[in-house]
Chains A and B, each alone.
Chain A
Amino acid sequence: MSAETVVPLPVPGPPERTPVLSMRGISKSFGKVQALTDIHLDIYAGEVVAIVGDNGAGKSTLVKILAGVHPADDGGIEFEGQPVQIPDPTTSRALGIATVFQDLALCDNLDVVANLFLGREIAGVALDEEEMEREAWELLRQLSARIPSVRVPIAALSGGQRQTVAIARSLIGDPRVVILDEPTAALGVAQTAEVLNLIERLRERGHGVVLISHNMADVQAVADRIVVLRLGRNNGDFLASEVGYEDIIAAITGATEHARPLPEPSYPRPRRIGPLR
């Protein structure tokens, strides 16, 4: 051992990234059912985070907490570094979290423009249809969406086109985080392709994207990070580039335990029973 200590030169570190949205120790129960236990989740801008898990793993509950449908029982949420409460959907939206639910919540009888601007109509004395139509085209063009006309009722569109409209609607107001709940379920193969391209497009626009999906091929195609939930707990947080299909399935099914180390138990260690040495 030499007395001289080598002082490493200060290396210019990577620019520190703060997550747009960060959930810390979130728990939620419905009566006796513990849906989520101590969930941690970080979402960065320009990143696609896939949340995967078996049925009943708590994916949808997690989304609903972010969307303000259910408030969390315990834990904290930080949005751009500031602690926030999300008691209702309006707050969630005002913060800049847009959610596209599985059932899309579109009005079948209204046309694309009316759906996009429902509740947020651009109006002077009367509705400014011209301006809304122009903005609708602009938005759909940015998403390279294949919608034949913005004046057809939603009922006349294909599943993929409806998904596109729902996603486009979520983008009005320029949210920081877009949450997509099973966007490719119930879609044909060409529409799935369209939606996956759309997710890439969202990422390029700098939105943080949360993708809930059961389809591993879709998840691995677009996700940057894959977060596995199992029985309401974190069971792994993988970089998509470093993980294979089998690893994810193993984490989903519980064959491997990737959960963060458990905290020290609050009760004393059990006393040794037996002869003392």
Chain B
Amino acid sequence: MADRRRTPGSQTSLREANRGRIVDAVKKHGGLTQVELAGATGLSPATVSNIVKELSESGVLSTSKSMRSGRRAQYVTLAHASGLVCGVHFSQRQLRIALADTSLTVVAEHEMPLARDHRSDNEIRRVGMLVADMLENVSAERDELLAVGVALSAPMDAASGMVARPGILRGWEGVPIGDVVERTLRVPVVVDNSSNLSALAEHRLGALRGQDDAMFIEVSEGIGAGVLIAGRAYRGASGGAGEFGHMVIVENGPLCRCGNLGCLEAIAGGDAIVTALSTRYSGLKLSDVIVRAMAGDDVCIRAIADAGAHIGVAAANIASMFDPARMVVGGHLARAGELLLGPIRQVVDRSLASRLAPAPEIVAGQLGPRAALVGALAVAAEHSSAFPAVAGSPDLRVALG
């Protein structure tokens, strides 16, 4: 109840807070008229009018004339003078999409659940419509969109620009994703693996700032990782490096969706956790497991801890191979916090105890589940200016590094 609607004072001390409220409300809705802004923030129309005027003079907001309920109204959006970039993240069960200006200030954002094994053509069409809708919402023209970054929660093959392993995102196999999205949106498109982009995003804006040799581990329904070496994502020979989730940690172990046996993902991934618990709780989802664990359900706590221990084994192996300074854990399951991180840290510390150098720090990501989306925005912004030269060759487009 902390956010009860109250009429805030108009003292100068509150002015900063009120500015924040207005910018937040505009961000949340994409665009609002001043009257609606007054309703949404609980500020008086006069205050809203003053602050909007001030912020549009300083270039934070922009206003345009509009009509609401037959009356003239001032439509307020975030300013985006330098053009816009779009970031899209397709994971197994979720779509995230955002529009941002080239300094990565998000001006409009949507997320929605997706069907298991959703089909790429439907979703790309959906993205096309969402982008048009969002552009209209922030009163931007089509040609203000400079570039699109697409993050896919699947390994990407650099040469073909397609998903490199079958069984991971089934609806996307055999589709030259960059080309198809480019044809739909008619702007340059950059496609990359979501864990690589999450690593880049955390490196630029989050928990990996200043850490050039580091690693991002994504634990959601599946498990993936992005490896940063000297500040750049390491992609390997074919572009499919960082398939952390498909390291075999139990020889001849359980069947993984990639077709292999004993992959980390088949033992400690979100789907594996849910499947293991499904005999006890029917109709469980990963978010329920986390909520239950946080509420003190011992079975769920144990399931997450076991997953953490297995991830720890794999992380320790990677750590002795690449010697990262820090490992950031993100993805859905990272919401469980120390319930997951604690066991990972414990196993990694124990495995690397004999080293002279300290074991890598294991911390939670700062960007949360949005990391890949922010990364997609960041690569899109990076390539929005320099792109035309590269636009012709798909291999360059995928191989960002």
Given A189-B126, A193-B110, verify A220-B116 contact (CB < 8 Å).
yes
Interface 1/0 per residue, A94-137 and B, CB below 8 Å = 00000000000000000000000000000000000000011001
Q: Are B113 and A47 in contact (CB under 8 A)?
A: no
- Nearest residue, chain A, Cβ from B6: A134
Interface positions, chain A 71-101, Cβ under 8 Å from B, are none
B116 interface neighbour in A153, A188, A192, A240, Cβ under 8 Å: A240
B287: Cβ under 8 A from any A Cβ: yes
Contacts of B113 in A (CB 8 A): 196-197, 200, 221-222
B279 within 8 A of A: yes
Tell me if A141 is interfacial: C-beta within 8 Å of chain B: yes
Sorting the interface of chain B by its residue count into under 10, 10 to 19, 20 to 34 or 35 or more gives 35 or more
Which residues of chain B have C-beta atoms less than 8 A from A197's C-beta? Answer: 111-113
Query: Which of A151, A188, A222 lies in contact with B133, CB distance below 8 A?
Result: A188
**Nearest chain-A residue to B38 (Cβ)?**
A149
Interface flags, A22-64, vs B, CB<8A=1, else 0: 0000000000000000000000101100000000000000000
Ranked nearest first, the 9 interchain pairs of A and B with the lowest CB-CB distance are A149-B39, A220-B115, A148-B36, A193-B112, A189-B129, A221-B113, A190-B133, A14-B280, A221-B115
A residues with a Cβ closer than 8 A to B are: 14-15, 17, 44, 46-47, 133-134, 137-138, 141, 146, 148-153, 156, 188-190, 192-194, 196-197, 200, 204, 216-217, 219-222, 224-225, 239-241, 244-245
CB–CB A244/B117 < 8 A: yes
Name the residue on B nearest A137 (C-beta): B5
Nearest chain-A residue to B31 (Cβ)?
A148
A-contact 0/1 string along B260-299, CB 8 Å cutoff:
0000000000000000000111110101100100000000
Cα A14 to Cα B276 in complex, Å, equals 13
- B94 nearest in chain A by CB position: A221
B118 lies within 8 A of chain A by Cβ: yes
CA distance A245 to B117 in the complex (A): 9
Given contacts A148-B36, A189-B133, whether A44 and B115 have CB atoms under 8 Å apart is no
Q: What residues of chain A lie closer than 8 Å to B126, measured between beta carbons?
A: 189
Q: Which of B1-31 contact A (CB under 8 A)?
A: 1, 3-5, 28-29
Q: By the criterion CB–CB under 8 Å, are B5 and A190 in contact?
A: no
Cα distance A15–B283 when bound, in Å?
A: 13
Bound Cα distance from A94 to B54, whole angstroms? 51
Interface string of B123-154 (1 = CB under 8 A from A): 00010011001100100000000000000000
Q: Does B58 contact A (CB under 8 A)?
A: no
A225 to B137, CA, bound (A): 35
| A-B interface pairs (CB < 8 A), number | 93
A44 to B284, CA, bound (A): 12
| Residues 68-93 of chain B, each 1 if its beta carbon lies under 8 Å from chain A, else 0 | 11000000000000000000000001
Q: A224 contacts B69, CB within 8 Å?
A: no
Kindly state the separation between the CA atoms of A189 and B129 in the bound complex, as whole angstroms.
Answer: 7
Give the distance in Å from the alpha carbon of A239 to the alpha carbon of B274 in the complex: 14
Q: Does B40 contact A (CB under 8 A)?
A: yes
* Cβ contact within 8 Å between A152 and B130: no
Q: Which of B33, B112, B117 contacts A196 (CB 8 A)?
A: B112
CB distance from B1 to the nearest CB of A (A): 8
Question: How far does the alpha carbon of A44 sit from the alpha carbon of B133 in the complex, in Å?
Answer: 36
> Given A189-B126, A193-B111, do A149 and B283 touch, yes or no (CB 8 Å)?
no
A217 in contact with B133 given A133-B5, A148-B40 (CB within 8 Å):
no
- Residue of chain B at shortest CB distance from A12: B280
Interface hub of B3, B113, B122, B288 (most chain A Cβ within 10 A): B113
The CA-CA distance from A137 to B3 in the complex, in Å, is 10
Check A148/B110 contact, CB under 8 A, given A141-B3, A189-B129, A224-B283: no
Residues of the A chain whose Cβ atoms lie less than 8 Å from the Cβ of B229: none
Which residues of A are found within 8 Å of B280, using beta-carbon distances?
Answer: 14-15
Alpha-carbon distance A219/B281, docked complex (angstroms): 22
Q: Which residues of A contact B159 (CB under 8 A)?
A: none
**With known contacts A148-B40, A149-B39, A193-B112, A217–B68 Cβ distance under 8 A:** no
Check B29 against A148 for contact (C-beta < 8 Å): yes
A14 near B281: Cβ-Cβ < 8 Å: yes
- Residues facing A in B95-121 (CB within 8 A) are 95, 110-118
Nearest neighbor of A193 in chain B, beta-carbon distance: B112
Asked whether, in the complex, the Cβ of A14 is within 8 Å of the Cβ of B5, the reply is no
Q: Which residues of A contact B68 (CB under 8 A)?
A: 152, 156
Cα separation A222 to B279 with both chains bound (whole Å)? 21
Partner of B283, one of A46, A153, A222, A244: A46
Q: How distant is A128 from chain B, measured CB to nearest CB, in Å? A: 14
Q: Are B69 and A153 in contact (CB under 8 A)?
A: yes
User: B248 contacts the other chain (Cβ, under 8 Å)?
Assistant: no
Cα–Cα distance between A204 and B129 once the two chains are bound (Å): 28
Most chain B CB atoms below 10 A, which of A44, A189, A224, A239: A189
Cβ contact of A190, chosen from B28, B37, B69, B130, cutoff 8 A: B130
C-alpha gap A265/B105 in the complex (Å): 68
Contact A217 B115, beta carbon cutoff 8 Å = yes
B400 proximal to A (CB < 8 A)? no
**Docked-complex contact A149 and B116, CB < 8 angstroms:** no
Beyond A133-B5, A197-B112, A217-B122, is A14–B29 a contact (Cβ under 8 Å)? no
Nearest chain B residue, comparing its CB with the CB of A133 = B5
Q: What are 11 A-B contacts defined by CB distance under 8 Å?
A: A15-B281, A133-B5, A148-B33, A188-B129, A190-B130, A192-B112, A193-B95, A193-B130, A220-B116, A224-B285, A240-B116
Residues of B within 8 A of A146 (CB): 28-29
Identify the interface centre among A15, A151, A190, A194: most chain B CB within 10 Å of its CB.
Answer: A190
